[in-house]
Structure 1
Amino acid sequence: MNSLRNSVRLVGNLGMDPEVKVFDSNKKMVRLSIATNESYKNDKGEKITDTQWHNLIFWGTQAKLAEDLLKKGDEVAVEGKLANRNYTDKDGIKRYVSEVIVNEFLKVGVKG
């Protein structure tokens, strides 16, 4: 049950091509964004689609696979954990970021 304490599963479309960073230790990280959509009908019966954007972080083997296999627009399913961090930007303003650290992903809707 411990693995359920911080578990995130998302299915959506990628909003960018993989952004790859390689660190001094030769450790690879890939950053992506994913859009998830939720549709509902309002009081007037009109269909409303609410889009949420999420930041994804891939490390190691998953980063290499994401770099090789994924591109903007792809539909993917991801599983990972939620992580929050903060940093100070170049203007001295403290910024807060929530990210999904991806453990596994699956490219959805692939033909053949």
Structure 2
Amino acid sequence: MHLDLTPEALLAQLGYTKTEQTLKQINDIISNTKNFDKFSQHIPSFNDALAVEKGFIAMSNSEDHLKIKCDEDSSADNLSAFTELVKHWADKYKLELKQVDNKNTYYIIGQK
């Protein structure tokens, strides 16, 4: 079954309040992410899986992309599991990610 995830629903799933600003930002992210509709329905469950490893998905303030981030104070075990989870998800949905230098943060560029 394929579910369409509206911008409003995605904001709610990621914990954002719907405002004119956040709605514009999520729409910009959607239009800037290649084949967003092909994997977007999996974002909420991925965000839930990341939470176990102290990770989360958020809107970037500096780029028109969603970012996958791990808490800075995570243990080495959490970081390793977080990295494996991100790589597995990216491989599964054929996603191009861009890692921020020296950080456990990845931008979702889109499908390859």
The answer to whether the superposition gives a TM-score over 0.5 is no
Point out which structure has higher relative CO (alpha carbons under 8 A, 6+ apart).
Answer: 1
Say which one has the larger Rg.
Answer: 1
Scaled to the shorter chain, the TM-score interval is under 0.3
Q: Which has the higher helix share?
A: 2
- TM-score, length-scaled by structure 2: 0.26
Q: Which has the higher strand share?
A: 1
- TM-score, length-scaled by structure 1: 0.26
